[in-house]
Amino acid sequence: MSAHILGRGAFLSGFKIQDFAVYGAERRGAPLSSFCRISKEDIGTRGYIFNPDNVVSLDRSIGMDTILSGAKKGAIVLVNSDKKIPKIKEFKIHHIDATSIALEIIGKPIPNVAILGAFLRLTKMFPLKNLEAAIGSELEEAGHGGMADSNIRACRVCYRKIGEK
């Protein structure tokens, strides 16, 4: 859902978008990969993104080699972690404990929406208000409208905290 929300925010900002997820086992917490293409131009490419411009990892237990696999030099890499991530010269590596923020604000350890605030702050792709609108509309469409306000608050906290580092 996070790639879809990011894509909706970009769309609201005038970008062309394409987002999709690849799921493993259909259960909460199962591994998955999601992708989001964002461009000012029409997007003709389909399929996996093998060389991403930027990477977000919700699971710190995944090794950095896997997280960075294929990422372009200079990529912004954001990892959900309560521990500092060692710097790697070729990448702009950041971390934020989005799980703790989500747990505190949403009441559940589900960081996928909250971390988008930090990602947006780092990339400066589009205005925060458009991400907030995307969160509200996507959660409403998914039948979780009651979770929108708390997810938006968690997103704002991540946006603010990553800017303090």
Answer yes or no: is pLDDT of 23 > 90: no
The pTM of this model reads: 0.92
What pLDDT, on the 0 to 100 scale, is given for residue 25? 64
Give pLDDT, residue 1. Answer: 87
Where b means 16+ CB within 10 Å and e means fewer, 55-92 reads: bbbbebeeebeebbeebeeebbbbbbbeeebeeeeebe
Domains and CATH numbers, the chain: 50-164 (3.40.920.10)
Positive or negative, the CA dihedral 133, 138, 141, 144 is: negative
